[in-house]
Structure 1
Amino acid sequence: MLFKKLFGINNFTLYKSFSTLYDQYATLGFEKQLVFAEKVENKDWNIDLNAGTITFNNELSYPVQLLGSFSFAEKMWVWSWANQATKIPRKLLETAKEFRAYGKKRKIGELTRGSLKLAMTDIHSFGLVALGMFGGDGYYVGNFGEGALLVTIREPKSPAALSEEEEHLRILSVYPQFIAMFEIKAQQKVLKNYLSAKKYKFTEETDTHLIARKNGREIIGIFDEKGVLLQLKG
């Protein structure tokens, strides 16, 4: 899959206190990222912190928010608001600071400590959740040799809106891809969060069934006793 090929994702180790936030927002972020990844595949990147933009192949340019950076040698993540070595313009720290404020309110240490020991794959979880929580159209992990930068991106122009039927069908495609790619234990909970974000109303919810409707369209999720998806239809 392009998403995995481009960003090298396997499984997140995920910290327990962050996992609830991940279950709530990551699928929505993944949906956006699938679209964005298609646009920048195999393209060289360059970031201009003063301009607040990232450019791909001198063709595509996007405004960014800088979430943080990861050191390959130390396996250390540093939030952008805690980075004392690089003079980062304040306008690029807004999303990272929103994360920190949320973490302080909910006592999520991964969002409030300036630096963290993480696996490289873990930082993608911050990108996915940021897209789901705070908006944006994609994120990018830029390898600069000694480490990598994580930025979120907004399209200069709003993407063309999908029809209701297209939105409905996209859910039936995105959710199975998401749980197949990542190790998701609370699969029914994750589907419920995703459908809630899409403004679906639930008409049935049991240990093994989840049924939701929106404007006459229906999605049915069937799960086993352990909450693992058996079938998704609509």
Structure 2
Amino acid sequence: MGRQLALAELVEERDWQLDLGSGTVAFGGDLRYGVQLLGTESHRDGTWLWAWANEASNLPPGLLHLCTWLRDYGRREGVAELATPGLPLERADGHRLALIASGLTGRPYYRGPYDGGAVFFHLEGIPAQVTDPVRPERALSVLNQVIMAFEVDHRTAAAAFLQQQGWRVEAAAAAITATHPTGSSIRIEFDHLGRLSDMSGTLAAER
């Protein structure tokens, strides 16, 4: 989610143009990046189709390396949603699957809408401002958006996110505290059901 917010700031409201022949996407006239296809949503029948299973479209094999890797990962780890060719959107939509893929690969993704559906693809060669850890002042916002948008274990999500972002995390019975290398700190409290009940933070002065 942190990468997605940073990507949105980068591309802003630019038009997008996907070129399967060159394996690139252009945003406006000044941004162009390589792509790896993930899959498509059909709003007509409410389904998701992985790009590796889309045999009718004759997609370039070079653009399927990532989704094929995800399929193999799903088969190996027993994650059916990654290994099943198609899924109803109420079970797993494109945003949910693309976010999972982003977590596994470290790449941001883009949703390109078209008449009747949308194509999802990962971006390659993205600037570090998108892929670097989020700034300390943004960490609580990112975590809060994930918890509001998805059914996740709040405590697990919070601890894993902060650790992945480079924070030192200390866990107690009803809370976790985290310290950023800059000196900023976060405290997150949970109720008896493990749901987030309060978040607070202190930002260190910029050096």
* TM-score category of the 2 structures, normalised to the smaller one: 0.7 to 0.9
- Provide, for residues 43-92 of structure 1, a one-character-per-residue CA deviation record: whole Å limited to 9, x for no partner: 32211011111112233211111001122212121111111111222221
| 2:146 aligns with one of 165, 168, 178 | 178
Query: Relative contact order (alpha carbons < 8 A, sep ≥ 6): 1 or 2 greater?
Result: 1
Name the residue aligned to 1:116: 87
Q: Give the corresponding residue for 2:204.
A: none
* 160 and 147 in structure 1: CA distance in 2 versus 1, 3 angstrom threshold: closer
Q: Which residue of 1 aligns with 2:118?
A: 148
**Does residue 1:100 correspond to 2:71, yes or no?**
yes
Q: Alpha carbon RMSD of aligned pairs, Å?
A: 2.4
Cα distance in structure 2, aligned partners of 1:113 and 1:149:
17
Q: Measure, in 2, the Cα distance between the counterparts of 1:99 and 1:160.
A: 22
Check if 1:80 corresponds to 2:58: no
Correspondence for 1:91: 62
CA contact (8 A) 2:3 2:131 kept: no
Residue identity over aligned pairs, in percent, reads 31
Contact (CA 8 Å) 2:177, 2:188: kept in 1 or not?
Answer: yes
Once residues 55 and 47 of structure 1 are traced to their aligned partners in structure 2, the CA distance between those partners, rounded to angstroms, is: 7
SS at match of 1:39: helix
Q: Deviations over 1:143-180 (max 9, x none)?
A: 22132111111345433897x9x732221232123323
Q: Which residue of 1 aligns with 2:136?
A: 168
| TM superposition shift of 1:121 | 7.7
Partner residue in 1 for 2:175: 209
Unaligned ranges ≥5, structure 2: 202-207
> In 2, distance between residues paired with 1:161 and 1:83?
29
Shift of 1:109: 1.1
Q: Which amino acid aligns with 2:145?
A: Q
TM-score calculated relative to the size of structure 2:
0.85
Runs of 4+ in structure 1 off by over 6 angstroms are none
Give the gaps of 5 or more residues in structure 1. 1-29
Letter in 2 for 1:146: G
More helix per residue: 1
Aligned residue in 1 for 2:6: 35
- Say if 1:213 and 1:219, in contact at 8 Å, map to a contact too: yes
